[in-house]
Amino acid sequence: MHNYEIRILHLLEKAGSADLAELEERSKLGRDQVLWALNGLFGKGFVKLNYNERSKAALTAEGKAYAEKGLPESRLLRRISDSGVKTDSLRSNEERIGLQWLMKKRLASVDNGMVKISSAGISALKNEFPEEQLLKRISGGRQGSVNPSEKELLDSLKKRGLVDIEGVRELEKAEITEDGIRASKSSDEGKDEIGNLDREMLAKMSWKGKRFSEYDLSAKVERNYAAKKHILKQTIDRIKDIYLSMGFQEISGPAVEPAFWVFDSLFMPQDHPARDKQDSFMVNNPKELEIADKEYVRQIKEAHEKSWRYSWDIDKARQSVLRTHTTSVSSRFIHQAVTRILANEDENLKLPIKMFSIGRLFRNENIDYRHLADFYQHDGIIIGKDLTMANLFDTLINIYAKLGIGLKFKPAYFPFVEPGAEFYGYSDVTDEWVELGGSGIMRSEVTGIARNRISVLAWGAGIERVLLMSKRNGIKSIAELYNNGIGFARETKVL
């Protein structure tokens, strides 16, 4: 037997039985060493191991949010407690969820377009919802044990997607057997087997003639959480590496832009629905930002008024906005690069020019498992001669092949490209083709290039959605990627 096994066996011979903490303390060994020794002794029939089975619950991103601010039905119940509320005033997704659960629990009812509290609801206001109590208890560190009496409550939270449940098997006690007692009496620590070689043994050759202990590679040990990058950071770095390996250079730009670079320079008319506050986040401070290149402003104004037939407003172009895509970065670079190309100012600016950007953007989206109000996007552009959609498709296929995703393309309309195409990747999670992004050849109104031989290929796509495509990643919702719990970072796999 190994020295560790003999040490543990001697302790159990004296005590008869002991739990893991006692064995750690008395043996002066680490937890992994004790567990390894116990598994070895169990395999030899020298000890019995008694395990305690329990459930461990971990909050999802949505569950963590509700643990902090309360369940939707709880918050809505407090809101309607006096005179009720109109159903058409419940516009947010959480309010609609809250109404569904209030009606399911018979705490409220709908009558003539009004949500009214029931007698059961009035009683429920006196105490905190049991589900909220459980969520708050679990949230103290994101993981927690759950009592058997709470199983029904826990199952309800699991169905709602607020918790993940896993079974946990923990060693409760180790007991020595009759065979173990006999083995303990006939074993002396340090004389039976060698567990590891050290410098002195190698120098003196004292290992010769000794027996080496066998190692059980399947033995249970305490889980060790190695340091690693967040899975979203891993993905961003991976996409950067792919672009760099294909000869692209990285560019970047500000998150707060004048609407000119986000919309106008991309040939999006000023009455386009996407520019409305319902789809974009406007900034009040500063409310406006200046556009330095007055000549380019004039060109864009003329292009808009000629093609879209309306009076273009410089004040709307100056409006501060949180960028809705990183294509605004590409737009500014295209203008700068094309200006230098046409003026022949830079001899080092040789075609093709290949650039990419990765950054965070902001959209007033309806939030679901695929959408958030802010997320990351990667954009790419290639400026070159005689480029076609075939070159564009080939580039995108190569980028996503390195991410393990096959693509298919579908014609689509975007104001700043002609022709345009959406590209889709196959998801083995939902067994469907999922839209990843848009692409096309930039219009001359955007690039300012009149010569047909020079063209600009462009594309943009979300990054988080890539992680929803494969079962291997285990990501069920885009919101999970913004969970700041240490448990999520520990459990996700290294890509």
Residue 363's CB is within 10 A of a number of other CB atoms, namely 17
pLDDT for 495: 66
> Domain 58-166, CATH 1.10.10 — does that match?
yes
Measured distance CA(379)–CA(248) in Å, rounded: 11
Q: Which tens digits make up the pLDDT trace of 53-83?
A: 776 778 888 888 888 888 888 888 888 876 7
Q: Which tens digits make up the pLDDT trace of 225-234?
A: 778 888 899 9
Instruction: Reply yes or no on whether the pLDDT at 347 is more than 60.
Output: no
Give the best-scoring range by mean pLDDT among 32-36, 88-92, 393-397, 467-471.
Answer: 393-397
Q: Which tens digits make up the pLDDT trace of 356-381?
A: 999 998 887 776 666 778 889 999 99
> Domain 232-255+323-491, CATH 3.40.50.10260 — does that match?
no
Residue range 402-420: average pLDDT?
92
Residue range 304-315: average pLDDT?
91
Q: What does pLDDT average to over the chain?
A: 83
Q: Which tens digits make up the pLDDT trace of 272-301?
A: 887 776 678 888 889 999 988 888 899 889
Strands 143-146 and 249-250: unpaired
Query: What residue spans define the domains of the chain?
Result: 3-46+177-204, 58-166, 232-255+323-491
pLDDT for 348: 54
pLDDT for 143: 45
Per-residue burial over 319-349, b = 16 or more CB atoms within 10 Å of its CB, e = otherwise: bbbbbbbbbbbbbbbbbebbeebeeeeeeee
pLDDT for 127: 83
Residue 311's CB is within 10 A of a number of other CB atoms, namely 8
Please give the share of the chain, as a percent, with pLDDT higher than 70. Answer: 88
Residue range 394-416: average pLDDT?
93
Confidence of residue 402 (pLDDT cuts 50, 70, 90): very high
Instruction: Reply yes or no on whether the pLDDT at 483 is more than 80.
Output: no
Give the best-scoring range by mean pLDDT among 69-78, 251-260, 469-478.
Answer: 251-260
Q: Which tens digits make up the pLDDT trace of 138-175?
A: 876 544 555 666 777 888 888 888 888 777 777 888 88
pLDDT higher at 251 or 345: 251
Instruction: Using alpha carbons, select from 329, 323, 258 the residue that is nearest to residue 297.
Output: 258
pTM here? 0.59
